[in-house]
Structure 1
Amino acid sequence: MTAAATLISGPARVDSSPRALARRLQPGDVAIVDALDLDKGAAAALAERRPVAVVNAQSCISGRLPTTGALVLLEAGIPVVESAGPAALAIRDGAAVTVEGGTISAGGGSSLEGTRLTLETVTARVRAADEDLHVHVASFTATALDLLDQDADLLLDGIGLPELRLPIEGRPVVVVTSRFTGSDEVLARFARERRPIVIGVGEGADAARAAGLNPRIVLGDVDGVSEDALRRASQVVVHDGEGRDAGRARALAIGLTHDWCEAGLASEDVALLAAHAAGASVVILAGAREGLLEYVSDRSTAGAGALLSRLVASGSVVDASVLGAVYRHRYSAVMSWGAFGLALGALLLAAWGTAEGHDAIESAWTWLADTLGGGR
């Protein structure tokens, strides 16, 4: 039996969003996603959870862009089946699934046929797509210029941004997007020590809470955000760059006090610009896009808007992924003096155990007593 025909089985975990799925994926699961041109960051989030296989309803690399998500999974030893079709998303979450070659079977139902990927075929497709990348970059640049002309007041002057009511000026802010997987120990330590204001963008609010962060501001489409996260927030700003009303309807239905923002940018970009405009000392993006390709691969204007927002706020923005390289643990005065006291005590105890040290300590104590006594 060849490697491609090896039988793989496990419980299905289904979500159209790879990043959202990664937050609840467990080792041994079969991940089923719906991602045209699976990007590197989303694939890395899946790979970290160690599923036994990843099934994509769409093509992992269509040839439109040299996306390397499939390579990330394959190099991690995780089998990948692509183009399984929309019926893959109808598989019941938790159902027993078997994958053999490109065939996916679930619970005695009809089988689905996809394409089992190999390193050789994916590498060749990435190489071919890379040759046409300059065309997509040119198109992306034109889109960015159009967006800058259309939303100059918002991007350059902050007109239309929501007013954040918490005192932000001079304080660090962490913006947590829905792409955040919650596995960042450096960010968690930074949050404990520096007490930043955390902004959860849409479902990123729940991702932040799962990571031990406390999102005091929730901004974005709140339709998929837990009511607990919404109730615990000091401010909720309902926003949907595409103009949908589901989030606002949810807020009204549960009687949630909220603000409203009509900006046309994506919610994570609105959060970034609002924090920057409010005077944040630093804005840390948790779940940011990784590299130019992730911006270019977004077929809507969202990628262009994200890049422009990063440029506008560039003086205060840091990706959480590089926080470990620029942030150093800060020890409190109590901890520093405590460590000094312990070291001094250990030194005195060691000296007391020797004749010379014993005599020196007694002499020092006598001198100190005479000095203090003489000053009465």
Structure 2
Amino acid sequence: MNTITRRLRGRPAGGMSEADNDGTPRSQGRIRLGKKTKDLVKTLNVGDIAVIGHCNIDRIAAEDLVASGVKVVLNNDPSSDGRYPNRGPLILVGAGVRLVDFPDSDLFELLVENEQVTIEGSEIRRDGTTIATGVEQLEPGLVEQFERQQAEIHHALADFAENTVTHIQEESELLSGAIELPETRTTFRDRHVLIVVRGPNYKRDLRTLRAYIRDVKPILIGVDGGADAIREAGYRPDMILGDMDSVTDQTLKSGPEVVVHAYADGRAPGAERMVELGVEHIALPFVGTSQDVAMLMAYEKGASLIVTVGAHFNLIEFLDKDRAGMSSTFLTRLRIGEVLVDAKGVSRLYNPGLTVGPLMLFLGAFLVLAAIVVLSSPALADLFDLIWLKIKIWLGF
């Protein structure tokens, strides 16, 4: 049995729900509709019922939903379609959030934003009348499905590898070709660059780098919503790069340089949002993911070290992002490999040791304590006066 299933077995599901006399779980709450989970979570409140359209709920989406405090998640798509072992449903149910799938209903037509409904078992009830019936995802079934998918992961891996190799031939310019980049006001030459992506453990890894950020002061680049994570950690991003579909308006308006990742043909949907917000920006057409573009920009402009937080690189992470291959990421890492390091490596390798600040603070506290002890004891005070007199004689005062 794998780590996640061992950890989740035995944890209570539906911790915020009541139950009818026959034991059927029953929850009441306010409906919040959102086809994009990453946008919806920013508006959710504790006790809400989230309605999403998210096939194969990924780990980041599940963690964000749990953090929002929702009691129930109603999914208009399969929370796991069986293609690969996605952890999202297990994370939700393991945290006590009820998860009900409605792949055969159009919840976004049936339900109204902010209306109060009751979720009884797998049914949605409005004023006592059942308006839709789904399938509740329970922990035993999810654990069994997850373990089965892990045993069959080689099928997904084979398809993924084939797509990767096919696209490597199409995107080979990433490895050997010249890359045209726009002029930026951010100067990268001989600087460390920290790139933050909303990926696995990105918040925790960012916290582990506090000493590194304080001492080295790297350029901080947020890839889309990663810029919000930088601000939440108490820093200011120097640059935001991405398609701008998940970063908040407040972060965009906070003053960093904004680079909109556009399609190779020049179309940049994110640029329209920048115009509406009145945010100055640069459009950068490029193949691959936004995290690839951020790493290549830093490398080509002369960064001495590139540190990534939350970057995607394993099979599950790419499938969670609905990507059938990783050709651009593979080629990007081959091109910039000698200056690239993951945040986990920095947190293990970078140990600043005892700095002057804490040492002086300790010394000061010790002297204050010693003075209090001396002044409170006449005998020690006399001894201290004698020592001080001898010191003055020795120094010739």
CA-to-aligned-CA distance 1:58-109 (integer Å, 9 cap, x gap)? 1111111122321222222221111345732454443323211222246899
Secondary structure at 1:120 match in 2? helix
Secondary structure at 1:232 match in 2? coil
Q: Residue in 1 aligned with 2:53?
A: 34
Secondary structure at 1:222 match in 2? coil
**Residue 70 to residue 225, structure 1, CA distance change in 2 (3 Å):** closer
Q: Residues 51 and 107 of structure 2 are in contact (CA less than 8 Å); yes or no, is this contact kept in structure 1? A: yes
Aligned equivalent of 1:7, options 13, 26, 44:
26
CA RMSD in angstroms, aligned pairs only = 3.7
**Residue correspondences, number:** 372
Q: Residue in 2 aligned with 1:316?
A: 340
CA distance in 2, matches of 1:86, 1:330: 58
Secondary structure at 1:215 match in 2? coil
Q: Residues 220 and 238 of structure 2 are in contact (CA less than 8 Å); yes or no, is this contact kept in structure 1? A: yes
C-alpha displacement at 1:344, in angstroms? 2.5
Q: Residues 95 and 107 of structure 1 are in contact (CA less than 8 Å); yes or no, is this contact kept in structure 2? A: no
Query: Residue 246 of structure 1 aligns to which amino acid in structure 2?
Result: P
Q: Residue in 2 aligned with 1:239?
A: 261
Q: Residues 219 and 236 of structure 1 are in contact (CA less than 8 Å); yes or no, is this contact kept in structure 2? A: yes
Q: Residue in 2 aligned with 1:124?
A: 144
Q: Residue in 1 aligned with 2:174?
A: 154
**Residue 23 to residue 183, structure 1, CA distance change in 2 (3 Å):** farther
Greater Cα offset, 134-143 or 326-335:
326-335
Query: Residue 145 of structure 1 aligns to which amino acid in structure 2?
Result: V
CA-to-aligned-CA distance 1:225-266 (integer Å, 9 cap, x gap)? 555433433422111347543222343455543222111111
C-alpha displacement at 1:14, in angstroms? 2.9
Give 1:208-247 correspondences, 5 Å limit: 208-222=230-244, 225-241=247-263, 244-247=267-270
CA distance in 2, matches of 1:124, 1:172: 45
Give 1:1-376 correspondences, 5 Å limit: 1=20, 5-84=24-103, 87-90=106-109, 91-105=111-125, 111-155=131-175, 159-161=179-181, 164-178=184-198, 184=204, 186=207, 189-190=210-211, 193-194=214-215, 195-222=217-244, 225-241=247-263, 244-252=267-275, 256-277=279-300, 278-286=302-310, 288-289=311-312, 291-301=314-324, 303-306=326-329, 308-310=331-333, 312-313=335-336, 315-319=339-343, 333-354=356-377, 357-373=380-396
Greater Cα offset, 91-100 or 337-346:
91-100
Query: Residue 222 of structure 1 aligns to which amino acid in structure 2?
Result: M
C-alpha displacement at 1:218, in angstroms? 1.6
CA distance in 1, matches of 2:364, 2:39: 48
Secondary structure at 2:28 match in 1? strand
Greater Cα offset, 306-315 or 234-243:
306-315
Determine what percentage of the aligned residue pairs are the same residue.
25
Secondary structure at 1:99 match in 2? strand
CA distance in 2, matches of 1:360, 1:319: 55
Q: Residues 264 and 286 of structure 2 are in contact (CA less than 8 Å); yes or no, is this contact kept in structure 1? A: no
Unaligned runs of 5+ in 2: 1-19
Q: Residues 7 and 100 of structure 1 are in contact (CA less than 8 Å); yes or no, is this contact kept in structure 2? A: yes
Greater Cα offset, 174-183 or 8-17:
174-183
CA distance in 1, matches of 2:68, 2:157: 32
Q: Residues 173 and 197 of structure 1 are in contact (CA less than 8 Å); yes or no, is this contact kept in structure 2? A: yes
